[in-house]
Structure 1
Amino acid sequence: MDNHEYETLNGDDNFELNDLSEIKPNISKSKNETGTVFSSIITLSNTLLGSGMLAMPAAFASSGLYMGILNIAIFGGGALYGLWLLTRCATYTGRNSSFFSLSMITFPNASIFFDLAISIKCFGVSVSYLIIVGDLMPIVTIGLFPSVPMNSVLLTREFWITVSVLLIIPLAFMRKLDSMRHTSFISLLAILYLFFIVIYYYFIPFRTNEVQLRRDLSKDTVPELNPSYPVNPKVENFIFSMNFFKNLPIFVFAFTCHQNILSVYNEMKDNSQKNVNKVISSSIVFGMILYWVVGIYGYLTFGDQTESNVISMYPASSYIILFGQLSMVIMVMLSYPLQMFPCRLSLDKVFYNLKRILNFNNEGRSLINPTETSYMTANPSNHSEPMSDKKFFFMTLSILVCSYVLACSVKTLGIVLSIVGATGSTMICYILPGILYYKLETENNHMAHRKNNRTVYTALFMFIIGIVLMVVCLLSIFLFD
């Protein structure tokens, strides 16, 4: 497919969605579009890397060494293709692109479900970030301050989750995704440090010191302060069991950054397909390399005893580990707003659709009966008004409070990642890109001659694979837990 064939005239207010005959550079002169190729790669990579990286060794432990390596290649390639499909779809709506605007010109009746899936996924990731803080900070605290009493509030996960939410608030209220490019760079440095720790302590085994011995004595009172140790860890090359399907969504989850690709596309100064391809390919390849290294060396270190948060398994026997654990805390706190942005935007569209349907006005009726309005004559910009300050405030606050409550209630990171990966991640990575691209390509009058294009049917196949993956993984999680 020719990368230039779909370029749209984003700055022309009179441009029609099905008019693809005019091809002009997609360069914005607006002050609202500040993203460069480099800053966009940083933002997307930081969205990609996070709690999935901490859980990757556990995913290897459920699938085996060689199968884990293969899974990263397969799901990384699938994520890359899904990102490419979404950017191709984005050329139909220009810089107003969102899952909502695309669904309004394809499946208006289902748009509420599309955005609901995105909001669930992003909310689940936000919760996982807070769980990581609650897991690691008590370990860091006792490592830095061995004299802290075991019954101190400083060693409770709820205390540190509360502190992290308070620190996150200023970042969570930022309105532009590209505003996070500097904090995203800091987060990536923390990821690289984890990369170093996993390799270093594979070749140089850690030892128990007096701090760890003291933590072992507190096993019954403060169990989260006791990392697991590899006692004769067993490493297998291929594993086929129900745990394989239960943890398979972690691989999907690990490569899910699709919720932010349309925002990145909108905010890039030059969002030509050539530049967008650089962003998505660089981010995915970078993520694959890190996942391979962390997954392989983490699994080889802990074997079949690997837990869902690998960094919490390393004892605080040195400041190298302590700093790495603290870096992970900083990383997830800085990454939290990257999930807040699409979650808030998608929830806004969900409420918009609910209001339209309940009011039964003309626009609402068109959502219930999409045949009243042709998808190619629908104008998604009518539904893309900026969020009011009041709505922005209360929606952000609600997400913060709800994620805080859930993080304090759920203590297992792995189950959160598996459920989110099987539902929201599968929907965003495979189901939506595939069906949206297929619909736009096959029903555009100017593209009738392309209906037999291989890409169209590959997109449809991707949609089917996503449905099958979601059903199989959810059944494995809930029926064989």
Structure 2
Amino acid sequence: MEPPCGSVNTEQGWYVSAQQPEEAAAEESSPLLSNELHRQGSPGVSFGFSVFNLMNAIMGSGILGLAFVMANTGILGFSFLLLIVALLASYSVHLLLSMCVQTAVTSYEDLGLFAFGLPGKVVVAGTIIIQNIGAMSSYLLIIRTELPAAFSEFLAGDYSGSWYLNGQTLLTIICIAIVFPLALLPKIGFLGYTSSLSFFFMVFFALVVIIKKWFIPCPLPLNFTEEYFQISNATDDCKPKLFHFSKESAYAIPTMAFSFLCHTSILPIYCELQSPSKKRMQNVTNTAIALSFLIYFISALFGYLTFYDKVESELLQGYSKYLPHDLIVMTVKLCILFAVLLTVPLIHFPARKALMMVFFSNFPFSWIRHCLVTLALNIIIVLLAIYVPDIRNVFGVVGSSTSTCLIFVFPGLFYLKLSREDFLSQKKLG
């Protein structure tokens, strides 16, 4: 099992807390977390690094799919839906943290166990495993499809057939050399430096999307050469839509839910937070979600205003088509691919923890078991990344099932089950 964050054994019907639930909720303190950090001789992870880690858990391949969502919902429709999902994500984190303070439970899986017994724990852990495997495979799918194209744009001659332009080969090498070693780290706080680097790459990506909006003409050309071959001269092609609905609009909520899902990383980050408290962790969450919302909205808006209805389901593909040898675009591609890559080890942590809690909860921590489970997860996500044909399949399936459960369903169910408030109270109605 992962190194524990708190002392809890709800299977035997007891939990350890330095305070009664009501007192803990009133003071919003987390003595278990503080005691654990003190026992480990660690001051905890700073507020800033915790924000970076949470943003890295939130932001990944979702940023590349939101412009496509805006094209199929309209600017105002997209803005309203994105804001609603962001607020609901923040509120559901509030519910999770409230339950942690009241029960002294410090993992999502144990909240399921405390609320609904062993079946609840298994369902939550299974959902976390499926969601995080889907997320990691979507990130690696982007690496497989985009990295060879990014490398080829830096090469002057024809190097087709070379091993370093083969997506499967590059993906395997990267997973062995980067993802697997970082995923082996025993604590999520160790990834704070890579998460801060990933955040700045995402900001750079948003800035380039804004700038390059003025470099691609509308209507879009078939070939971006000295002579433009227009697809259409209709001015309607270059008018943004405030509201729009089509069969592709069905991807909107699942993709947004997928893009804001950080709930499996909330409690591991909370465990390692410096001076942990419910209020402090909620501030970390609100800051991370607000910054992610801003970057998401800016990149989606200017990506949509660049390609309009011709926006690809994965935004980088449009720039590859119309600005194939632009140095800034080539650089930002590598940056965003590296940022996406650095997200994989972060969300590897809760997936591995869920597996450990289901199958090895009664065993002490073992480095051999830790390495073998990490290796097995890496093999699974690499195979999925090689054989899944379209990123929309991952967003649609994972976002509409496991992501919505982890954001919308489980936190509310746990609160209704565990909170001692009257059922018609304001919080329970919420």
What is the TM-score normalised by the length of structure 1?
A: 0.77
Contact 1:206 1:317 in 2 (8 A): no
Contact 1:121 1:425 in 2 (8 A): yes
Unaligned residue ranges in structure 1 (runs of 5+) = 1-7, 214-228, 353-382, 442-446, 459-481
Contact 1:52 1:253 in 2 (8 A): yes
Q: Which letter does structure 1 place at the counterpart of 2:429?
A: Y
Contact 1:139 1:316 in 2 (8 A): no
Provide closer, same or farther for how the CA distance between residues 261 and 174 of structure 1 changes in structure 2, counting only shifts above 3 A.
same
Provide closer, same or farther for how the CA distance between residues 14 and 290 of structure 1 changes in structure 2, counting only shifts above 3 A.
closer
* Offset of residue 176 of structure 1: 0.4
* Offset of residue 451 of structure 1: 3.4
The answer to whether residue 278 in structure 2 is matched with residue 268 in structure 1 is no
* SS of corresponding position for 2:213: helix
The answer to whether residue 309 in structure 2 is matched with residue 300 in structure 1 is no
Cα deviation per residue 1:375-426 (whole Å; 9 max; x = unaligned)?
xxxxxxxx58653222211110000001111111113112111211111110
The answer to whether residue 12 in structure 2 is matched with residue 21 in structure 1 is no
Alignment partners' CA distance in 2, 1:402 and 1:9 = 32
Contact 1:51 1:128 in 2 (8 A): yes
Contact 2:416 2:423 in 1 (8 A): no
The answer to whether residue 403 in structure 2 is matched with residue 394 in structure 1 is no
Match of 1:320 among 314, 323, 328: 328
Q: How does 1:277-296 map to 2 (within 5 A)?
A: 277-296=282-301
Which position in structure 1 is the counterpart of 2:96?
A: 86
Cα deviation per residue 1:48-69 (whole Å; 9 max; x = unaligned)?
1110111110111121221111
Unaligned residue ranges in structure 2 (runs of 5+) = 1-5, 9-14
Cα deviation per residue 1:13-37 (whole Å; 9 max; x = unaligned)?
8538864336664462343461222
Count of residues in Structure 1 that have an aligned counterpart in Structure 2: 396
Alignment partners' CA distance in 2, 1:258 and 1:328 = 23
Match of 2:406 among 428, 437, 440: 428
Alignment partners' CA distance in 1, 2:428 and 2:286 = 21
Alignment partners' CA distance in 2, 1:26 and 1:333 = 33
Alignment partners' CA distance in 2, 1:402 and 1:414 = 19
Which position in structure 1 is the counterpart of 2:213?
A: 202
* Offset of residue 204 of structure 1: 3.0
The answer to whether residue 194 in structure 2 is matched with residue 192 in structure 1 is no
Q: Which letter does structure 2 place at the counterpart of 1:187?
A: S
* Offset of residue 329 of structure 1: 1.5
Q: How does 1:442-481 map to 2 (within 5 A)?
A: 447=420, 450-458=422-430
Alignment partners' CA distance in 1, 2:262 and 2:290 = 13
Which position in structure 2 is the counterpart of 1:438?
A: 416
Alignment partners' CA distance in 1, 2:262 and 2:95 = 13
Q: How does 1:351-390 map to 2 (within 5 A)?
A: 351-352=359-360, 383=361, 387-390=365-368
Match of 1:52 among 62, 66, 74: 62
The answer to whether residue 108 in structure 2 is matched with residue 99 in structure 1 is yes
Match of 2:255 among 250, 253, 257: 250
Contact 2:21 2:103 in 1 (8 A): no
Contact 1:177 1:264 in 2 (8 A): yes
* Offset of residue 161 of structure 1: 1.2
Alignment partners' CA distance in 2, 1:118 and 1:299 = 32
The answer to whether residue 152 in structure 2 is matched with residue 142 in structure 1 is yes
Q: Which letter does structure 2 place at the counterpart of 1:249?
A: P
* Offset of residue 205 of structure 1: 2.7
* Offset of residue 287 of structure 1: 1.0
Contact 1:140 1:316 in 2 (8 A): no
* Offset of residue 148 of structure 1: 3.5
* SS of corresponding position for 2:274: coil
